[in-house]
Amino acid sequence: MSMKIKLQEENDIAKAPFSLIVSGFAPVVNIHKTMTLQLRPKNRLFFLNLSNGKQKLVDQRPHKSGGGLLTTIAETSFAGHVGMNINLENILQENDIIRELFNEELGAVIQISQQNLEKVK
């Protein structure tokens, strides 16, 4: 038996399997060598846009997503229990803030400590 989700909107039909969640665990010898989403105070986040200018927004079909740039940086802020100021000046394309914050095209957010900031710039 195959389990699937079927969504029909106007003339479009999208099908997708239910999500499978797999988790695992292992012993950690040195917790200082682990990485988390947690934003540490005084560190900076940088967005690496790898989408080649694309900004497709997710439509109403089932999709595999991370929620876009805003969701990514909000998760790091929540995990670190810190607030942040966000400067979008260098990443806005065509002044479309919604597309920039919520598109799910290829990209990454990296966290850089103050001591390594000049090396990254």
Most confident of 6-10, 61-65, 93-97: 93-97
Residue 31's pLDDT band (cuts 50, 70, 90): confident
Give the span between the Cα atoms of 38 and 74, in whole angstroms: 10
Q: 118 Cβ partners below 8 Å, 6+ apart?
A: none
Give the span between the Cα atoms of 35 and 74, in whole angstroms: 17
- Spatial CA neighbour of 94 closest among 41, 54, 40, 65: 54
Per DSSP, the three-state class of 80 is helix
Give the span between the Cα atoms of 87 and 75, in whole angstroms: 17
Q: Whole-model pTM?
A: 0.58
Which amino acid, one-letter code, is at 42?
A: K
- Spatial CA neighbour of 84 closest among 74, 99, 69, 71: 74
Q: Residue range 82-107: average pLDDT?
A: 82
pLDDT at residue 61 is higher than 50:
no
Give the span between the Cα atoms of 56 and 69, in whole angstroms: 13
Q: Give the number of residues written for the chain.
A: 121
